[in-house]
Amino acid sequence: MSTASGWEDRLARWQSELELFERLDGAPWVTLAKAQAETGVSRSALRSWYRNGEIRSRLVDGPNGPQRLVRLDAVIERAAASPRIQRRAEREVSLEAQVALLRQRVDQLELRLAALEHG
């Protein structure tokens, strides 16, 4: 068995386990990296939450060794209860709105400039 084939087998087994967890619990179990990417919650906050019993976690054998998994819905729910995370999310939405407004103003200025150049 080649190293690549062994790696692919381990990865396939691990993905099958994740799918089984999801079917049994009705909610996806994800790695800390995936939970961070999906919710914006830092890994250190995720670790604190599972260590303090605020969210459930599982330690499973992954393709690169032990992997900590958390339920994505629990992370989302816990994040919604965090005023600090909510403030950060509001700031990000606010920044997105500001960028959209600035883009609109730049577009308007470009149209006015083009009209002045042709007029």
Tokens of 100: 């959209």
5-59 pLDDT, tens digit per residue, is 777 877 777 777 767 666 656 678 889 998 888 888 889 999 999 999 999 998 8
| pLDDT in the model for residue 25 | 62
How distant, in Å, are the alpha carbons of 45, 91, 92, 109 from that of 86?
14, 9, 10, 34
**Parallel, antiparallel or unpaired: strands 65-71 and 57-62:** antiparallel
Tokens of 30: 């994800």
